[in-house]
Amino acid sequence: MHTYDRLFIGGTWTDPSGKDLLDIRSPHDRSVIGRAAQAQPADIDRAVAAARHAFDEGPWGRTTPAERIALLRRFDELARPHDDRMAALVTAENGSPVWFTRALQASLASQFNSSVRAAEEFGWEETLTPSAPDAPFRSVMRREAIGVVAAVIPWNAPTSSAYGKIVPALLAGNTVILKVSPENSLSMGFLAELLERVGLPEGVISVLPADRETSQYLISHPDVDKIAFTGSTGAGRRIAAIAGQQLKRVSLELGGKSAAIILPDADIEKALQDLRFASLLNNGESCIAQTRILAPRGRYEEVVEGLKMLVDSLKVGDPSDPGTFIGPMIRPDQQARVREYIRIGIEEGARLVTGGPQVPEGLEQGNYVTPTVFADVDNSMRVAREEIFGPVLVVIPYDDEDEAVRIANDSEYGLSGGVWSVDEEHALAVARRIRTGTLTINGAPIGYDGPFGGFKASGIGREYGAVGLGTYTEYKTITI
């Protein structure tokens, strides 16, 4: 049993304003695995005040990029030996299979290093070349920290989301309040323990689990200068409205309903093995999941049957078992939501290939969903248009390449996607036509040096690398 009865505010463990602790329950069997204090508005006020003071008057605002890089490297060195413990905590809280949480922890080194490389090469201050050689002045362009950052992250991949925000924000010289989901109180409490050991100045970082109402209080706080949010599109719209009203800087990484385009010449067997991860990683609770499978009509049944065999072969069960590929949904309400979408797909007339709304036999004590594949899906159906956030795939036929591109682009989202073909240049040409922020060809992994984010309702702004670092800075021009 893990217990966090205090809150990490400004680098110090502090008694919370509320006395009650939240029970953290296992998605596998709904048993209580820990308890944790939850932040209230009064705790937010303390965290923001500490961050404001640290930025405006403390030593943090006078640090150099090299000094900040050294401190963040210390954090990474402290964290790396604890990857297995962190993975186990996230698996226990989220129901994410341990193969996934371990792989995600291993990838944090690349994610971290891309941010540090960007900071080392970043144009923090540059002298601009005047438009005329005899100009009686010169201009200096600076990139400076924005101020106090409210970083609000989701529950589905908390460590990766936390790294994606606090590392570039701190490297740029901002102070940060990291608002985490109540479900992740244990893993993010452990993250706070690691941050405590780094030696950051007082007030620079807070880690606060809190509910939606307290989250809204944080992002609306007048002393917060920037909001960095990852989560649902609906929540993103509300945050964008608040940011617009207050003229806060804002970046939003939101939902997706990404398409996987299997071209007629593709290696179907390889494409299906790639889709095991691209479409079903983290129990389908992934914003980048490619859940619309677009298959050429001439090979349609081959794809449908292959997906059925693939999904039926995946082990569903205890997420702490290394042999499990799909674990439970995080909460009972998410389980009910996904099962309702499966019923909707049946009512809409889609062909149920495998799965269904029933709970997997023997797993009734947890938040489990039977992995499901629908065929003969029209792109106008709700199961093809709305983000389900669970292990539900739809297979949509197309007649020619132009139709495949139209279907892929016929979505309010534009976050991710994939193209499969034996001709890589042809696949690249198709990928260029898709209105989405990130695409992979033939199952290639997504890297961390390029920008990550979405078109349309999938967000505003980008994360990772130099572009992601830049979203935590303001331009200043000084003319001399």
Nearest residue to 407 (alpha-carbon basis) of 312, 279, 329, 296: 296
Rounded Cα distance between 191 and 197, Å, is 10
User: 139-174 burial, b if ≥16 CB within 10 A, otherwise e?
Assistant: eeeebebbbbbbbbbbbbbbbbbbbbbbbbbbbbbb
126 is catalytic: no
Residue type at position 318: D
How many H helices and E strands in the chain? 15, 21
Which one from 93, 183, 285, 287 is the annotated catalytic residue?
A: 287
Tokens of 99: 């193969």
Which one from 253, 285, 387, 463 is the annotated catalytic residue?
A: 253
In terms of DSSP H, where are the helices of 80-210?
A: 83-94, 98-121, 158-171, 185-196
User: 83-107 burial, b if ≥16 CB within 10 A, otherwise e?
Assistant: beebbbbbbbbbbbbbbbbbebbeb
User: 413-427 burial, b if ≥16 CB within 10 A, otherwise e?
Assistant: bbbbbbbbbeeeeeb
287 is catalytic: yes
Is the CB of residue 189 less than 8 Å from the CB of residue 2? yes
What are the strands of the beta sheet with 372-375, ordered from one edge? 351-354, 372-375, 392-398, 292-296, 259-262, 417-420, 440-441
Could you list the active site residues?
Answer: 253, 287
